[in-house]
Amino acid sequence: MPVLSLTDVTVSFSGPPVLDNVSLHIDKGERVCVIGRNGSGKSTLLKTVGGVYSPGAGSITFPEGGQAAILQQEIPQISDCKVFDVIASGFGTQGKDLSRIRNGETVVELDPDAQWKMEQRVERLGEDLGLCLDTTFQSLSGGMKRRALLGKVLSVKPSVLALDEPTNHMDIDSILWLENYLLKSALSLIFVTHDRSFIRKLSTRIVEVDLAKLNSFRCDYETYLSRKADILEAEAKTQSAFDKKLSKEEAWLRKGIKARRTRNEGRVRALKQLRRDRAARKSRAGKASGSMQNATQSGRKVISAENVSVSLSGVSILRPFSIEIMRGDRIGIIGPNGSGKTTLIRTLLGEIDPESGTIEHGTKVHVAYFDQLREQLNGDATVFDNIADGNESVTIDGRSRHVITYLQDFLFSPERARVPIKTLSGGERNRLLLAKLFTKPANLFVLDEPTNDLDTETLELLEEKIMEFPGTLLLVSHDRSFLENTVTSLIATDSIGRVEEHNGGYEDWLTKCQKLSDRSAVPKKGTRSDWKTRPPKFSKKDQQELDSIPEMIDAIDKRRAQIAHKLADPQTYKNDPTYAETSKRELVELDVESDRVFARWEKLEI
């Protein structure tokens, strides 16, 4: 028996249906991935399942009882609230009362038994999700905020959990944690994501949203890709045969009917039906196209950084590092949220002055920069005006093209090209920014989180164009498949500001990290000759102290990351102008405490 049934559901918003008479049944324990192009209705389907939207027709039922809960794509702005309060808010009004009681207020309406059960549920979720319940929500990184919001939707033990782009703005460690958590759970899932590694790891079934219909594939992602290619090929052959027949019948009619025979009248009626069938056929938009314009070849050395360190408002963000980027290098930049990846890029490009060291740019370097905040787009202007600053045409590979025609390469219809930027979805804005960058000849492409919100087709196009690009590439991304397919070396940053280079792609880096982890886990074998230098056995108290040290180090690193993340947010300086000074003192104290803990650890392990 399914845990969720959608039967003949239709959803529309003052236009053609986004979902047209669709049905879907999800069994217990299934993990269903919903895929489709940007704007095809994926999020609409999840919001309909989660009760955010009500269908215009059809029914949504839970045969075994219960309800669905949805973790939406955007992280809400929640102020003056602790993690406990966020998770408890999943209980609705009772959850708010529970938070008030925890804050020392008196609430008479809440049943003591219900209060105890909710407290136990919140504490258990906090433990399972690795969250400190007394931490303020705003101080968390993007990945930890996602965990807290996941705890909120899990608090009511939903029959089906809907996840809309859960990996957006999460670092790789947080994505890996989420994958393992969901795999270990017995949750029934329906989720939307552009992360192909996430799809391959989690999905047990693929549901495609295409032309307002749902197509279900009970298989893994790789099998789906193969079956989909076969379906599209067969569909193209069928449509081609139909169009040839229609063209032939139209030619016959134009020649004129020689006699009014019953057979000829039937042929005319059949032709009219063919015309109606052709008019009713729904056509897919073509695939996105476009290419990166290569400027004149740069010098052999593109960027050289020597003993560079970076501080913002007196707070150290990046420790001293040296990097040499040569022409043709394809470098990925990875690291936890708030570890300084964007700061590193902006420093290398000369937008941020280093605290120490020198940065030199090579000759004839022409940069195209994709910033993750999309600040290069004018939100008040139209799609058309953003491309060519109000001009009617753009020059692509030495050839003039009308802006409307060029935008169609990126799936913007002539009507869509005239709408303001603020009405576009996240995926459409990213496509527009790529279209804008592709109009500029460059030999150094710098892409900061370009994959967020893009559908898989556009992702694959971007991969293809990057591979064809003969220049130099700097890429910040948390998309593991995208990194593996596009870069040949990595720069890794961490929460304490270290910057390290690694040869090879993402999988090579992962293998190297695993080997280092395994090597450090193997205890050093003692020999008979070193008995004189062995220290005496230490006490149980010493052992407990030794066991607690990794947690202490982790807590120090997390606090450093929280401070760095908050310092990178411009809103911090508006809300609290003194924060930079107070955080500087706290970071100094953290450094002193870190040195003390490491020294003690070294002494205890001797």
Indicate whether 532 pLDDT > 60. Answer: no
Tell me, yes or no, whether 324 and 454 share the same domain: yes
Tell me, yes or no, whether 473 and 589 share the same domain: no
Tell me, yes or no, whether 378 and 463 share the same domain: yes
CA dist 188 and 2 (Å) reads 10
Token couple for 351: 């937008």
Tell me, yes or no, whether 411 and 367 share the same domain: yes
Taking only the tens place, the pLDDT of each residue in 437-465 is: 888 889 999 998 888 777 787 888 888 88
Q: Does 525 fall in a domain?
A: no
Tell me, yes or no, whether 38 and 83 share the same domain: yes
> What pLDDT score was predicted for residue 506?
87
Q: How many CB atoms lie within 10 A of CB 281?
A: 11
Name which of 359, 351, 342 is nearest 567 in CA terms: 342
Report strand pairing: 489-493 vs 160-164.
unpaired
Q: 3-class SS at 257?
A: coil
Tell me, yes or no, whether 370 and 310 share the same domain: yes
Tell me, yes or no, whether 426 and 466 share the same domain: yes
Tell me, yes or no, whether 73 and 139 share the same domain: yes
| Domain coverage including residue 25 | 2-223
Tell me, yes or no, whether 317 and 428 share the same domain: yes
What is the count of structural domains for the chain? Answer: 4
CA dist 497 and 492 (Å) reads 10
CA dist 457 and 287 (Å) reads 7
Taking only the tens place, the pLDDT of each residue in 25-77 is: 999 999 999 998 877 889 899 999 999 999 999 999 999 888 999 998 878 87
Find residue 99's DSSP bridge partners.
none
> What pLDDT score was predicted for residue 578?
77
Taking only the tens place, the pLDDT of each residue in 159-203 is: 999 999 888 878 888 888 899 999 998 899 999 998 999 999 999
Q: Does 115 fall in a domain?
A: yes
Q: How many CB atoms lie within 10 A of CB 209?
A: 23
Tell me, yes or no, whether 202 and 340 share the same domain: no
Phi-psi region of 116 (alpha: psi -120 to 50; beta: other; left: phi over 0): alpha
Q: Give the CATH number for residue 210.
A: 3.40.50.300
**437: CB partners within 8 A, 6+ apart:** 292, 368, 369, 370, 445
